[in-house]
Amino acid sequence: MTAAPPLLALPYTVPELDGLWPEWRTGLVDGYRWMVLGRALDRRMLGLQRQGRVGFYGPATGQEAVSIGVALALTTADWVFPGLREQLLMLARGHPMGTYVDHLFANDRDPARGRQMPCHPTGRDVRYVSMSSVIGTQITQAVGLAYGLKLRHEPGVSLAFFGDGATSANDFHAGLNFAGVFGLPVLFCCTNNQWAISVPVDRQSHVKELAQKAVAYGLPGHRVDGTDLVAVHIAVRDALARIRSGAGPELLEFVLYRMTPHSSSDDPTRYQATDWASQARVHDPVPRVEALLQTLGALPDALREEIGRTADEIVKAAIADAEAIPQPDPASLFTDVLAPKGPGGP
């Protein structure tokens, strides 16, 4: 297994960071807080699923640097069309943790009222479109929204997230082709975690780098170390600046390593090599940014311990609150289905 090439060699130096990211001290510490929170959320929710207290969970362990590196680069005008593991990005943009956990429990406060598959949230408040387990459909949806933004001369960029397997889907071809022809404000974000559920990336495509696929549609394609928070943030920030200036869509391939089962319904021991998990942990983005902050003197032990403790408390409190809320009344299954009877109604 080969590590993705970082944009800059680690550890970064203070002059490098000052030149690339003037607010790096605040940004990196805040990013680290969110990454630790995401890790705590995954740990707790996967445990609850194993206990039968929630029905399904898709952990994003190992992908935190991508979600937070992107979140730090967005504006409120941007839209996110997630794949399966971008829930931390939604939270970092301001969607309440409690609302998300309500959704995971499918309780009576769940915005979807239990009608959507758990771990497939919608964050309309932060322009985060509902997840779907159908491979690649969000790509063309993101392109459609970008087309609307362009026609209406509205600000904002549409971001489409998808895994390595989705680059073999029809929507990938249709989406990139249409976006390229019409020069739409779209950033295609491929989170290459090496596995399309149980199919390794080298059995999905013969290209050495999935970013090369952008060339066929006339788009720039760049490969980024998806385990490096700084590299992700800089790559996304610069790509968004070019897109906002009217340069057209781009594709970023974030190379990272899946550190958990595909979902709570998966058993990776049936198809992964026995040493995969241990090798993947070498590329864990959370201790990587932690080590960087400590090297730069920006994360004293007391702050690190406070961040970890606070993350656990936030998740535990949200779970306790959500679990105390009853399930939706079965009769609610028929609400929001038909328009009220009246003039123009049924």
Active-site hit among 258, 281, 283, 288:
258
203 a catalytic residue: no
The Cα–Cα gap between 134 and 136 comes to 6
The Cα–Cα gap between 99 and 111 comes to 8
User: Do residues 57 and 49 touch, judged by C-beta distance below 8 A?
Assistant: yes
User: Do residues 323 and 54 touch, judged by C-beta distance below 8 A?
Assistant: no
Which residue is it, tokens 């080298």?
202
State residue 343's pLDDT score. Answer: 67
State residue 1's pLDDT score. Answer: 43
The Cα–Cα gap between 256 and 97 comes to 25
State residue 2's pLDDT score. Answer: 45
Active-site hit among 39, 95, 103, 262:
262
The Cα–Cα gap between 174 and 241 comes to 24
206 a catalytic residue: no
- For the chain, the distance separating the N- and C-terminal CA atoms, rounded to the nearest angstrom, is 60
Give the 3-state secondary structure of residue 120.
coil
| DSSP 8-state assignment for residue 195 | E
Q: CA dihedral defined by 161, 163, 164, 165, rounded to 10 degrees?
A: -120
The Cα–Cα gap between 113 and 102 comes to 9
User: Do residues 198 and 228 touch, judged by C-beta distance below 8 A?
Assistant: no
Active-site hit among 50, 53, 115, 271:
271
What is the torsional sign of CA 271, 68, 253, 250?
positive
State residue 9's pLDDT score. Answer: 62
10-residue mean pLDDT profile of the chain (346 residues): values are 52 89 92 98 92 89 96 97 94 97 94 86 94 92 98 97 95 98 98 87 90 96 95 96 98 92 79 84 92 94 98 98 94 81 63
283 a catalytic residue: no
CATH homologous superfamily for the domain 14-334: Thiamin diphosphate (ThDP)-binding fold, Pyr/PP domains (3.40.50.970)
The Cα–Cα gap between 301 and 315 comes to 22
CA distances for 43 relative to 60, 131, 194, 264, angstroms: 10, 21, 22, 12
User: Do residues 79 and 156 touch, judged by C-beta distance below 8 A?
Assistant: yes
Render the burial of 47-61: b for 16+ CB within 10 Å, e for the rest: ebbeeeebbbbbbbb
- Output the pTM of the full model: 0.92
The Cα–Cα gap between 70 and 128 comes to 13
State residue 106's pLDDT score. Answer: 93
